[in-house]
């Protein structure tokens, strides 16, 4: 089965502590909500300590047009995407030697936080010496589920082309979508939660001679995947596109939906693959937020230790939409042992879920 050989991050330069962002939100939202101090508790209750942004806080204090924000997205996406690819193909943690850019057969570029045509990987291909025949597969609009979905689509590509080496490049600059004049609770919660992050994963097919470059004793192979979309749930999360840009849609019912919907979804998937929940050693979960992680634990009846790494990523980086699960996966890959099973899961607009069954070999 196709394997995930290397994962690397590109972390934006500007570090913002949660207290500083909370002060910014207090100044901005206090006239709109009489109970602003109660609502601001979300900044502490979410257990996020810091986040990384593409721009410093001063940049967000003045109105920006859709054009200005999207141009900033393109510039930063190229810079950070290039860095993530370099880090992935030169990883000292996961690789014994550099993987040449010319050996990459396809790039799956995942994003939902900006718009670019030509897409970002085409622009990066003018900076890094990829083959001119490298296939480009940009995927837009999957939100928080996008990183897991990108891995699933890369898995399917490598099943069809077992000699392939492909990249899954996830670029999310959520902060650049921020709307100063949106005084909704969704925007306030989004301000407390979302962050910027970029990550890249290398996925290889069965016929690739990985002993030439694989450094870890065991790496996760993808055994199976499952994509599921809940009917009539378009209003759970996503964007509203207005003249000023992208306005966040973020339902307060997400944790309750997860609790009622995820367990049968996961149970069906594992049963189909002949795996019992207790056989899963690693729960590679996209940490949508503290309440979302709590809903995972309640729905799947996991010991809290199973979500420890997801919580640590949330604490250090916030919710970076699609890129977050790759940050979580990287940490599991640093200590996974041969024969251990993993379940990767992420939820996104649609409302949808992406599941991957992993085995370290």
As annotated, the active-site residues are 144
Residues 311 and 324: their CA atoms lie apart, in Å, by 11
Residues 290 and 180: their CA atoms lie apart, in Å, by 25
Coil, strand, or helix at residue 16?
strand
Residues 230 and 351: their CA atoms lie apart, in Å, by 5
Residue 354 pairs with which residues in a beta bridge?
227, 346
187-191 own/partner pairs: CB under 8 Å, 24+ apart = 187/247, 187/248, 188/25, 188/29, 188/33, 188/39, 188/42, 189/42, 189/250, 190/248, 190/250, 191/21, 191/24, 191/25
309-315 own/partner pairs: CB under 8 Å, 24+ apart = 310/283, 310/284, 310/285, 310/286, 311/47, 311/287, 313/287, 314/46, 314/47, 314/48, 314/287, 314/289, 314/290, 315/47, 315/48, 315/49
Reading the block at residue 177, the tokens are 């979508």
**List of residues 6+ apart from 89 with CB closer than 8 A:** 6, 95, 98, 99, 100, 101, 104, 202
SS (H, E, C) 149-183: HHHHHHHHHHHHCCCCEEEEEEEEEHHHHCCCCCC
């Amino acid at each position: 089965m196709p394997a995930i050989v290397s994962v690397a991050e590109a972390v934006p330069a500007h570090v913002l502590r949660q207290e500083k962002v909370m002060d910014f939100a207090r100044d901005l939202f206090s006239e709109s909500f009489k109970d602003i101090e109660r609502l601001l508790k979300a900044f502490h209750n979410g257990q996020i300590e810091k986040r990384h942004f593409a721009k410093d806080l001063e940049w967000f204090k003045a109105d920006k047009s859709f054009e200005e924000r999207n141009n900033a997205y393109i510039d930063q996406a190229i810079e950070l995407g290039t860095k993530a690819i370099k880090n992935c193909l030169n990883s000292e943690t996961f690789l014994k030697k550099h993987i040449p850019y010319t050996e990459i057969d396809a790039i799956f570029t995942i994003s939902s936080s900006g718009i670019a045509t030509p897409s970002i990987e085409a622009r990066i291909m003018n900076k890094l010496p990829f083959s001119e025949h490298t296939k480009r597969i940009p995927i837009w609009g999957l939100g928080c589920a996008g990183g897991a979905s990108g891995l699933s689509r890369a898995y399917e590509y490598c099943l069809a082309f077992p000699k392939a080496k492909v990249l899954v490049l996830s670029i999310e600059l959520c902060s650049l979508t921020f709307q100063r004049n949106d005084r909704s609770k969704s925007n306030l919660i989004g301000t407390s939660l979302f962050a910027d992050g970029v990550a890249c994963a290398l996925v290889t097919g069965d016929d690739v001679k990985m002993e030439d470059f694989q450094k870890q004793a065991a790496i996760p192979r993808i055994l199976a995947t499952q994509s599921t979309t809940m009917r009539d749930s378009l209003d759970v999360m996503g964007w509203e596109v207005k003249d000023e840009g992208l306005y966040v849609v973020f339902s307060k019912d997400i944790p309750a939906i997860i609790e009622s919907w995820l367990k049968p979804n996961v149970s069906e998937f594992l049963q189909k693959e002949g795996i019992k929940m207790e056989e899963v050693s690693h729960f590679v979960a996209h940490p949508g937020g503290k309440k979302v992680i709590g809903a995972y634990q309640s729905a799947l009846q996991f010991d809290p230790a199973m979500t420890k790494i997801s919580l640590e990523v949330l604490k250090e980086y916030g919710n970076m939409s699609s890129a977050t699960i790759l940050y979580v996966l990287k940490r599991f890959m640093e200590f996974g042992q041969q024969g251990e099973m993993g379940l990767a899961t992420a939820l996104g607009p649609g409302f949808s879920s992406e599941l991957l069954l992993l085995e370290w070999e």
